[in-house]
Amino acid sequence: MGIKVLAVANQKGGVGKTTTALSLGAALHRLGKRTVVMDLDPHACASIHLAHYPEDLTHTVLDIFYAEKDALPELWTRVLNREEVPGFDFAAASIRLSELEMDLKSRPGRGAIFKEALELLPEDYDYIVLDCPPHVGVLLVNALVASDLVIIPIQTDFLALHGLRLIFDTIRTLNRVLPQPIRFRALPTMFDRRAGACRRVLNLLRKKLGDKMFETVINLDTNFREASAKGKVIYEIDEKSRGAIEYSLLAKEIIAHENA
Ligand SMILES: Nc1ncnc2c1ncn2[C@@H]1O[C@H](COP(=O)(O)OP(=O)(O)OP(=O)(O)O)[C@@H](O)[C@H]1O
Ligand SMILES: [Mg+2]
């Protein structure tokens, strides 16, 4: 079946990208999939969440962008951390990732650097989950180009629908130059079933996106906030919580889809 790269992306901020990357990574691991989560956001939220503080790190995904091809397999072993809990491997971000834009400006093929580097990973993984930054740029492009599937978390409120076009425009622009179109599916997040507005947004999304939406819906769950405050994933807070169960459903939906 080969490695599957899942990029979690939306240019809209605060829609649940980082929560999805970490929770889905943990869910895939719990289903027996060899999984690595990588933080491609200069804000390093996922890294800080897992207590990898940018100021203390000697090796981050940033190094991968500057490495010679020959050096990559060994460099990956330094960049990858084994997280006993939640169980996946993890590659942390550097705040200097924000400088990549300038540094790579004149590098030919700069959008495919990460895709090529992932081919030299020394470990056999089933899934690579990429947490993307909330803005367009060379990092997002590298993540999208490397991906087999883009997961687009969409917060189910009306304001969140504004700005949603941005991510679809980015995908469409890239598809004009890529040999294969980027596959994507939207994931409704922070759904509040008691709120009529939320239900209307969900119906609207289903109508507009059809099978480009996951069946799984991630509901509001205060356990996510508690998890991030404690530097844990939701399974460590309460594996029977709604949020934990829903990310397991999402993982199963993704696995089933690959096998279909
Ligand atoms: N299903 C949920 N229920 C309740 N809170 C949630 C849920 N998903 C995420 N959150 C909370 O919402 C906030 C934003 O989530 P998160 O950091 O995952 O978004 P993001 O898209 O990665 O943001 P950014 O664009 O800044 O990177 C966090 O405090 C997180 O704990
Ligand atoms: Mg984030």
pLDDT digits (tens, 9 = 90+) for 66-114: 999 999 999 999 999 999 999 999 999 999 999 999 999 999 999 999 9
Tell me how crowded residue 169 is: count the other CB atoms within 10 A of its CB: 12
**Residue 148 CA neighbour count, 13 Å, CB half:** 15
| Domains in the chain: boundaries | 4-259
pLDDT given for residue 111 in this prediction: 97
Report the residue among 166, 224, 246 best suited for mutation to probe ligand 1: largest number of ligand atoms under 8 A from its CB.
224
**Atom 25 of ligand 1, residue of closest alpha carbon:** 13
Structure tokens at 124: 């056999």
pLDDT given for residue 142 in this prediction: 98
| Residue 79 and residue 64 in contact, taking contact as beta carbons nearer than 8 Å | yes
| Residue 69 and residue 120 in contact, taking contact as beta carbons nearer than 8 Å | yes
Please state the atom number of ligand 1 nearest to the C-alpha of residue 134: 25
**Atom 13 of ligand 1, residue of closest alpha carbon:** 14
- For residue 225, report the distance from its CA to the centre of ligand 1, in Å: 8
Q: Exposure of 41 by Cβ count < 10 A (0-12 exposed, 13-18 middle, 19+ buried)?
A: buried
The fold of 4-259 is: Rossmann fold (3.40.50)
Ligand closest to Cα of 19 equals 1
Ligand closest to Cα of 47 equals 2
pLDDT at 1 over 70: no
* Ligand 1, CB within 6 Å, residue ranges: 13-19, 41, 45, 134, 189-190, 218, 220-221, 224-225, 228, 243
- For residue 173, report the distance from its CA to the centre of ligand 1, in Å: 27
pLDDT in tens, 175-186: 999 999 999 999
- For residue 225, report the distance from its CA to the centre of ligand 2, in Å: 13
The average pLDDT across 173-197 equals 95
Please state the atom number of ligand 1 nearest to the C-alpha of residue 221: 3
pLDDT given for residue 90 in this prediction: 98
CA neighbor of 134 nearest in space, from 250, 21, 258, 251: 21
CA neighbor of 46 nearest in space, from 93, 87, 10: 93
pLDDT at 172 over 80: yes
Measured between alpha carbons, how far is 236 from 138 in angstroms, rounded to an integer? 34
- For residue 15, report the distance from its CA to the centre of ligand 1, in Å: 6
